[in-house]
């Protein structure tokens, strides 16, 4: 699948440490190949329409939506922050 990122995602990504950015890059590559890969722990976010979350590590998550053959990255950050405003 193709990957595109909203401006909000890009802004949040830039604020992350380089270590977390590297982990995110690795997980985004996996996401583009198989969005249900076990390492991502992908699941729908409750209370939303068509918004998913994927794990970067135990503390960080990515929210995204799938439109056609494209994954749109919405937000990246701390688990609780991402789930509050996916």
pLDDT for position 80: 84
Burial class (CB in 10 A: 0-12, 13-18, 19+), 8: middle
More confident residue, 35 or 71: 71
Average pLDDT over residues 5-15: 96
pLDDT for position 59: 94
pLDDT in tens, 39-83: 999 999 998 899 999 999 999 999 999 999 999 999 999 988 888
pLDDT for position 86: 85
pTM, 2 dp: 0.92
| Domain ranges within the chain, ordered by starting residue | 2-84
> H/E element holding 44?
strand 43-44
pLDDT band of residue 28 (cuts 50, 70, 90) is very high
Instruction: Compute the distance between CA of residue 78 and CA of residue 86 in angstroms, rounded to an integer.
Output: 11
CATH of region 2-84, choose from 3.40.190.10, 3.10.20.590, 3.30.2310.20, 3.40.50.720: 3.30.2310.20
10, 71 in Cβ contact below 8 A? no
């Amino acid at each position: 699948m193709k990957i595109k990122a909203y401006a909000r995602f890009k802004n949040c990504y830039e604020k992350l440490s380089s270590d977390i950015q590297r982990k995110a890059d690795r997980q985004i590559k996996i996401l583009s190949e198989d969005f249900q890969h076990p390492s991502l722990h992908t699941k729908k976010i409750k209370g939303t329409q068509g918004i998913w979350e994927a794990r970067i590590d135990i503390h960080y998550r990515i929210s995204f939506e799938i439109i056609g053959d494209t994954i749109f990255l919405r937000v990246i950050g701390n688990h609780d922050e991402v789930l509050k405003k996916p």
